[in-house]
Amino acid sequence: MYLPPESLLRLLQLPLSLLNSDQPTPHPEVSDGKHHGHKNLNNLGNLSPYHDASTVHGASADLPEDCTIDQVILLHRHGSRGPTGEQDHILELANTLEKAWDIIQSSDLPPYLKFLKQGYKYDLVPEELTIVGRKELFDHGVEFSFRYPTFSTKEVVSTNVQRVIDSAHFFSQGFFGRGAENVTFLTTDNFTDPVSWLVPWESCPKLSYVEPYEAAQKWAKEYIPPIVERLNGLIPGVGFFLNATRGALYGCPYDLAARGKSPWCGVFTARELRGLEYELDLFLDGYSGHASKGDPGPLVGAFYIKKLIERLTSKDAEPLYLDFAHDITILFALSTLDLNKDAVPLSPFVDHPPAHRKFRSSNQTPFAAEMVWEKFTCKQSFEGPQVRLVLNGVTFPLSICQKCGKDKKYGTCSLNEFVRANEYSRNVEYHSQIWNATCELDH
């Protein structure tokens, strides 16, 4: 895929303020917030629009002045996309509203539901990168070139999923400019690794969506029924049942992903949106984290950490690596590093979502999430090569290998300590005993 730079700029320089105009009046409990005129729209789990993560207390955003960044390794999630399996719920919503057209027209609706009188049409393209997603990636490419102006590479790697390939191209147009014409774009199909560092779960057939999905559904049956009751009380006769209400909840993040605005976001309270966020976290923590049986996350994510260490320590390593993949690629890596494991595993059997949980996909993997690894050296502040993780614009402390006060202040650790702390990952092998026990169906 190639777009002439002039056409790309005309497409992507459209201000998001235009996309966000004419927003309906929101529910009183979600007004006066930080994003798109509402509260909590940065807390929609892995369906959140890109935003910088919350600052981690005590971790400095800037390195000491005598330090120089020598190598940068980027793992980037694709940008905002259309729905996957959730589209069935959104279609159910659209059908429910269409059948209730006469009831809606004759109803006295609160301000945040008056948009229903204009009708609600489902027009989202499933799974494809949206215009908002294209802009996210192009902007990130431009910002990345400002942050690391002296770094360059001749290769960009992505998974073979089209939205990820497109994301890599849009980022590259922003980062390289016209130089993107001279870059080689590779996908995981170009590599012969027995386990891909970008899609390692594809080599683990035993890894299952079933348990995580069931846990998320159990929580959904707790937090959604009160919303169903509330909506049916506001518009009697429409028939907001479970699936249509789920469609309305998903309509919020997916409208944002497609157009940068959504009338549905103003329908739900902050508490209700936190319920959706926790539902998504339960599923993701179960699949890529620590909450599922056998705790496969650290094993599967070890192949990304192996590749990372190889790049950080090899004498022949490039100064810049640009990889594009998925939210769970990042989450598997964090799981392997033990950086987002909660002391008490996330559970659907709670009265409300834990407010201070470590596993939070809203901060860790919104659309267009950026995991940036920096290797740096200093004249005096640190001795020898050091490593830092910047996740979505914020220093993410490497607690697994910090040895001194400066490590804690800057969220860093020495390269030697980082390698030593990840001995488990370095020793994981495809078809080893632990791999077969965790991943292979015939063991």
Report strand pairing: 320-325 vs 184-187.
Answer: unpaired
Structure-token match 């028939």, residue found: 239
Structure-token match 């987002």, residue found: 340
123 is catalytic: no
**Per-residue tokens: 418:** 């980082």
- How long a stretch of residues is the chain? 443
- DSSP 3-state of 128: coil
Structure-token match 């609706």, residue found: 109
22 is catalytic: no
For the chain, report the end-to-end CA distance as a whole number of angstroms: 42
Select from 334, 360, 364, 335 the least CA-distant residue to 346: 360
Among 78, 169, 290, 326, the active-site one is 78
Select from 219, 362, 265 the least CA-distant residue to 29: 265
Among 166, 281, 323, 327, the active-site one is 327
* Burial track 118-144 (b if 16+ CB lie within 10 A, e otherwise): eebebebeeeebbbbbbbbbbbbbbeb
Spatial neighbors of 332 by CB under 8 A, at least 6 apart, are 200, 201, 288, 297, 300, 301, 304
Q: Which residues carry out catalysis?
A: 78, 327
